[in-house]
Amino acid sequence: MEVEVKFKAYDGVENRIKQIAEFVIEKLEEDLYFNHPCRDFKESDEALRVRKDKEGIKVTYKGAKVDKETKSREEIKLKVDDYNKAIKLFEKLGFKAVREVVKLRKIYRIGDAIICYDKVKGLGKFVEIEIEIEGKANFEIAKQKVFEIAKQLGFDSKNSIRKSYLELLEEKNRV
């Protein structure tokens, strides 16, 4: 399970991140999201994507959010070796490509948490803080940790964004 919070970045936040966390990697992530042929992932609050970056190619399923304060959800990741074949497989099974989300991501680590400083094409800059856990036993502890890190970076938990980048882009394009 991924325990995650997201905030709109403010000027200077990356410097604050560098003060408390260790830089890991910078990479361009290209995500292609799909919708299920028999149920609407927008309605079920699920997501299925194929991601390509310099570390490889992954297929990721994300379940519905588990609480009202965070973006926490079940996450299943699978490495694949061919981006185009993964897309073709989903299309053959009836899945429809919905939208591409492209971002330049800088990843930092603090303890068991990851801080991502993202520049999302068409949206702007964001900060995501996440901890991966097994099961729900440590959910509340992990949630407390991500909000503590957010507070160290100057974010107020009331300003947490629960929508995915896909949802934010879809919303922006409807306006």
Q: Which of 33, 108, 117, 165 is catalytic?
A: 33
Q: Is 33 a catalytic residue?
A: yes
Count the neighbouring beta carbons within 10 Å of the beta carbon of residue 153: 20
Is the four-CA dihedral 161, 74, 31, 112 of positive or negative sign? positive
At residue 64, φ and ψ (nearest 5 deg) are -65, 150
H or E element, residue 139: helix 139-152
Angstrom distance (rounded) from CA 4 to CA 147: 9
- Catalytic positions, written as ranges: 33
